[in-house]
């Protein structure tokens, strides 16, 4: 160590010194300023400094000696004053470490809001397995054997997990499978929603993912008609997005509903004037729905001569996208804390 480094090391030691008792203060004095003390040793070394540097080091060493003396006096005064009370030890000016609280994932927040909205009008929550058999995902729902959804292109089949070996189990492609289970398990009135993860064999892009979340709903009772379906979905979209929002229905096709419809909502981003999100149409598609096909009721042990019902299904990511205006689906699953931290339960209106 050169002279500069030695001085700096002793200065650091002076600053860090603790000496709670008079004995410790004396030990400090001897260790620094005594005959063999560290400061004394540096003062002795002064005689070896080349003449042209004497002025510089003379000043520095004098400062060091002064610093050691005043530190000793400080410690001596503190030791004589007695031990500090616990209160004195608290330094209220010290910067605090801020606690880093976690937050709910935006998809969890939106899923819970959807559940709450339907909970208010008496819908219960049902759950089922993500690895599903052919009957619950397709067969009971009226998918003919050659339906393209049964193709490897669209569905992830799970090898060797079914009762008869390979290929008869799949990752569920929708939570309609849960509705089949609910209908099998009990008679109407049935009023339930099934939130959960679903899987489709899609290339991952800004607009599609191979895993996403759905909330599907089912209402079966005596005399349920299309008007109840429309009223329910109107209530849902206004509760979720605000009272000024309108819906419209377009005829569509699903194997398990007849008639079937696609539901569009007036674009919340531009208020219906036209923007890139609604592709300048003023409307965005938010879900599929329809009256439960009588054959599906019969497949599940419910008499279609007595009961009728409606069903609907929506993607939670899609709803979140319209609430939060996050255009790229992939952001939801990259787990970037800077993205996730922006969502709190009160961050959107409604």
Would you tell me which residues interact with ligand PHE (CB under 6 A)?
174, 176, 216, 254, 257, 288-290, 311-313
Nearer to ligand PHE, 173 or 266 (CB): 173
Shorter beta-carbon distance to ligand PHE: residue 28 or 219: 219
Q: Which residue has the tokens 């509705």?
A: 179
Q: Identify which of residues 106 and 290 has a Cβ nearer to ligand PHE in the complex.
A: 290
Of 195 and 288, nearer to ligand PHE (C-beta) is 288
Distance CA 319, CA 175 (A): 16
Q: How far is the CB of 294 from ligand PHE (least distance, A)?
A: 14
Cα 287 to Cα 191: distance, rounded to the nearest angstrom: 18
Nearest to 106 by CA among 325, 265, 270, 312: 325
* Alpha-carbon span 177 to 194, nearest angstrom: 9
Nearer to ligand PHE, 175 or 268 (CB): 175
- As a whole number of angstroms, the distance between CA 224 and CA 310 comes to 7
Least Å distance, CB 321 to ligand PHE, is 16
Radius of gyration of the chain (CA): 37
Cα(145)–Cα(136) distance, rounded to whole angstroms?
14
Instruction: Between 11 and 228, name the residue whose CB sits nearer to ligand PHE.
Output: 228
Sheet with 131-133: strands ordered across: 131-133, 169-171, 157-158
Element (H, E) at 118: helix 106-119
Helix runs in 186-241, H state only:
226-241
Distance CA 202, CA 330 (A): 13
CB nearer to ligand PHE: give 134 or 216: 216
Q: Give the residue at shortest CB distance from ligand PHE.
A: 313
Which CB atom, from 188 or from 313, has the smaller least distance to ligand PHE? 313
* Residue 106 or 288 having the CB closest to ligand PHE: 288
Alpha carbon 346 to its chain's center: 14
CB of 153 to ligand PHE, least distance (A): 16
CB of 290 to ligand PHE, least distance (A): 5
- As a three-state string, the secondary structure of 36-94 is CCHHHHHHHHHHHCCHHHHHHHHHHHHHHHHHHHHHHHHHHHHHHCCCCCHHHHCCCCC
Minimum distance, C-beta of residue 302 to ligand PHE, in the bound complex (Å): 16
List the alpha helices (DSSP H) in 81-191: 106-119, 134-137, 176-185
**Closest separation in Å from C-beta 348 to ligand PHE:** 24
Give the CA diameter of the chain.
Answer: 114
Residue among 4, 14, 18 nearest 38 (CA) = 14
CB of 238 to ligand PHE, least distance (A): 20
CA distance 120 to 134: 33
What is the smallest separation between the CB atom of 342 and ligand PHE, expressed in angstroms? Answer: 29
Minimum CB distance to ligand PHE smaller for 38 or for 192: 192
Q: How far is the CB of 173 from ligand PHE (least distance, A)?
A: 7
Q: Residue 245 belongs to what H/E stretch?
A: none
Minimum gap (Å) between residue 200 Cβ and ligand PHE:
9
Phi, psi at 200, each rounded to 5°: -140, 145
């Amino acid at each position: 160590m050169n002279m500069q480094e030695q001085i700096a090391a002793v200065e650091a030691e002076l600053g860090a010194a603790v000496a709670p008792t008079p004995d410790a203060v004396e030990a400090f004095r001897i260790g620094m300023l005594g005959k063999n003390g560290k400061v004394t040793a540096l003062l002795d070394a002064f005689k070896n400094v080349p003449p042209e540097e004497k002025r510089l080091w003379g000043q520095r060493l004098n400062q060091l000696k002064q610093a050691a003396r005043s530190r000793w006096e400080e410690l001596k005064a503190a030791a004589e004053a007695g031990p500090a009370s616990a209160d004195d030890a608290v330094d209220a000016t010290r910067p605090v470490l801020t606690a880093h609280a976690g937050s709910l994932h935006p998809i969890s927040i939106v899923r819970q809001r959807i559940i709450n909205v339907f909970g208010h009008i008496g819908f219960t929550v049902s759950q089922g397995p993500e690895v599903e058999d052919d009957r619950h995902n397709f067969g009971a729902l009226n998918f003919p054997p050659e339906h393209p959804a049964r193709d490897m292109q669209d569905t992830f089949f799970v090898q060797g997990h079914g009762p008869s070996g390979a290929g008869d189990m799949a990752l569920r492609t929708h939570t309609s499978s849960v509705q089949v289970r609910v209908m099998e398990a009990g008679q109407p009135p049935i009023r339930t929603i099934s939130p959960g993860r679903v899987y489709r064999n899609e290339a991952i892009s800004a607009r599609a993912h191979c895993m996403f979340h759905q909330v599907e709903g089912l209402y079966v009772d005596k005399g349920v008609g299309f008007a109840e379906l429309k009223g329910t979905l109107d209530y849902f979209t206004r509760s979720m997005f605000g009272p000024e929002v309108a819906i419209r229905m377009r005829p569509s096709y699903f194997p398990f509903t007849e008639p079937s419809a696609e539901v569009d909502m007036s674009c919340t981003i531009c208020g219906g004037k036209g923007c890139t999100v609604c592709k300048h149409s003023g409307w965005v598609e938010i879900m599929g729905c329809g009256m439960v096909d009588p054959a599906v009721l019969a497949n599940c042990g419910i008499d279609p001569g007595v009961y009728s019902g409606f069903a609907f299904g929506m993607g939670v990511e899609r709803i979140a996208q319209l609430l939060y205006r996050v255009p790229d689906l992939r952001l939801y699953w990259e787990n970037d804390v800077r993205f996730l931290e922006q969502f709190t339960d009160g961050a959107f209106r409604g």
